[in-house]
Structure 1
Amino acid sequence: MGDTLGALLRQWRHRRSLSQLELSLRAAVSTRYLSCIETGKATPSRSMVLHLAERLEVPLRVRNDMLLAAGFAPWFPERELVAPALDPVRQALDRILAAHEPFPAMVLDGEWNLINANPAAVWLGSGAAPHLLNPPINLMRLALHPDGLAPAIANLPELRARVIANLSRQAARTANPALTELHDEIRGYPGGEAETDPGESVAVPVRIRVEGHDLAFISTLTTFSHPTDVTVAELAVESYFPADTATAEIMLARGTS
């Protein structure tokens, strides 16, 4: 038996550090009505369930769980990326990857599993052990596992510290147990953690040695705006940009060779 709607609502309200009063103000409903929903004394409409989930910034996957708990059918579809309905999404992702060459870019799901990558990204990860390159390839595992790219990363302690902190926040924000497990796994890898001295840097770079080249990248994450499909909502493109002139020259030279 799954959680009731009231239990799910209360869990996510606590996860967002909101009191009943604060959520009631956000949702423009009475505190008494909200309390009755949480205790099971009131049965909200489907639109009210979606309204409250929106105000709590609940992931689409969990909004479907809330609807099911309230006795309604799921509202947000979860299609395979190869489904015809997602052709525009897939084409957009392919265009982003191609346009970013000769710099690395990859498509990731909500658990940091690799969906697709351009040739530059494949080259960047080519030094990992074969067992880490078998699907599903997890980017965090690939980067920080001692059999992965970790030995080639010059600033491993500071990068690990940032990755672990980000995974902790993401797991708390989404309540995805797979992310909690990944966080705990990564924390168990060797390599240490170190605070980052910002100095003159604008972001923590990835400093990595690949085929004799010392490279430095900063990265961005791009997501789709206003998704209504669970799969699309959980996709992200990580794009790597040169953090110094030498890296840019090396990657541009590779792109023309």
Structure 2
Amino acid sequence: MTVGQLLRRWRQTRRLSQLELAIQAEVSTRHLSFVETGRAAPSREMVLHLAEHLDVPLRDRNELLLAAGYAPAYPAEALDSPRLTAVRAAIRQILAGHEPYPAVVVDRAWRLVDANSSVAVLTEGVAPELLAPPMNVLRVTLHPDGMAPRVANLPEWRAHLLERLRRQLVTGDTELAALYEELRGYPGGQAGPPSPGDFAVPLRLRLRERELAFFSTTATFGTPLDVTVAELAIESFFPADDETRKFLQSL
């Protein structure tokens, strides 16, 4: 695809008209139209400027630049590279500080990057082959040989995870699309209405003779300039009731 076609796709994905984007980016509607149709070649600065206003992920901004004939602007360092030492240290500090509650770090495709020891509470009983690297957190959660048989509210939790993954498909990532179709094929039932009193969709997990309840938060690195760092997400699980909190603190 040309850079103009890619920009138009992102504009339509963000549900913006040419006029709305032109006003936000402070460019003329005529010039934006010419860029999208290929009648004008955008500068490197214009590509990045429009990508910023369209909230395009860094990986896809590099794709826009390449389509326009420019070199990528954002590196994609391996997480174990010396340049990302501070990032690794921050991740370990966050994970350790969240004990005794579970927390994981995943990449854009939901592959496990790191986790704290409390995640063992979630993965107890999961088939070993699902835990082998590269471990996919969504597959482990929803697979019939994974956590799914122990998730007391599987239809609701499954619907929540599938919706989060579906929203990522706007990037056109074929790997994510294949994962989405795979997970949709797993059994899980239809989600019902939210339970009265819940402020978020909880994860209700059976563990031996008890049922644990969690809610989760997602954290990302602010203002990243590296593709790898931009695509990391820290998923932290908190106890949703006193029984779960007391049990985890007793471990």
State the partner residue of 1:133: 131
Q: 1:178 to 1:196 in 2, by over 3 A?
A: farther
Partner SS for 1:112: coil
After superposition, where does 1:130-169 map in structure 2 within 5 Å? Answer: 130-169=128-167
Match of 1:233 in 2: 230
1:161 and 1:195 in contact (8 A); partners too: no
2:75 is the counterpart of 1:77 = yes
How many residues align? The count is 251
Alignment of 1:1-257 (within 5 A): 3-172=1-170, 174-254=171-251
| Matching residue's letter, 2:109 | E
Unaligned 5+ residue runs, structure 2? Answer: none
**Letter paired with 1:88:** A
What amino acid is aligned across from residue 42 of structure 2 in structure 1? P
1:16-75 CA distances to partner (integer Å, 9 max, x unpaired)? 111111111111111111111112121111111100000111110010011111111000
Residues 122, 147 of structure 2: 8 Å contact kept: no
- Partners of 1:241 and 1:101 lie apart in 2 by 10
Residues 194 and 201, structure 2, Cα contact 8 Å, conserved in 1: no
Q: 1:233 deviation in Å?
A: 0.4
The CA deviation string for residues 116-168 of structure 1, in whole angstroms up to 9 with x for no partner, is 11000133213111111111111111011101010011011111111112211
**Identity level (%):** 54
2:218–2:235 CA contact under 8 A, matched in 1: yes
Determine if contact 2:150/2:206 at 8 Å carries over to the other structure. yes
TM-score by length of 2: 0.97
Task: Give the structure-1-normalised TM-score.
Answer: 0.94
Provide structure 1 residue ranges, at least 5 long, that are not aligned to the other structure.
none
- Distance, in Å, in 2 between the alignment partners of 1:120 and 1:19 is 47
2-structure distance, mates of 1:104, 1:18: 39
Q: Secondary structure at the match of 1:207?
A: strand
| Alignment-mate amino acid for residue 89 of structure 1 | V
Deviation at 1:195, TM superposition (A): 2.8
Secondary structure of the equivalent of 2:211? Answer: strand
SS in 2 for 1:47: helix
Q: Distance in 2 between matches of 1:178 and 1:102?
A: 33
- For residues 233 and 14 of structure 1, the distance between their equivalents in structure 2, rounded to whole angstroms, comes to 23
Q: Secondary structure at the match of 2:60?
A: helix
Quote the Cα distance in structure 1 between the aligned partners of 2:115 and 2:193: 29
Distance 2:187 2:66 in 1: 42
My pick for the range that moved more, 223-232 or 121-130, is 121-130
**Alignment partners' CA distance in 2, 1:211 and 1:239:** 22
Contact residue 196 and residue 204 of structure 1 kept, 8 A: no
Residues 67-107 of structure 1 show CA distances to partners (whole Å, capped at 9, x for unaligned) of 11111100000000011111111100000000000110011
* Alpha-carbon separation, structure 1, partners of 2:119 and 2:37: 50
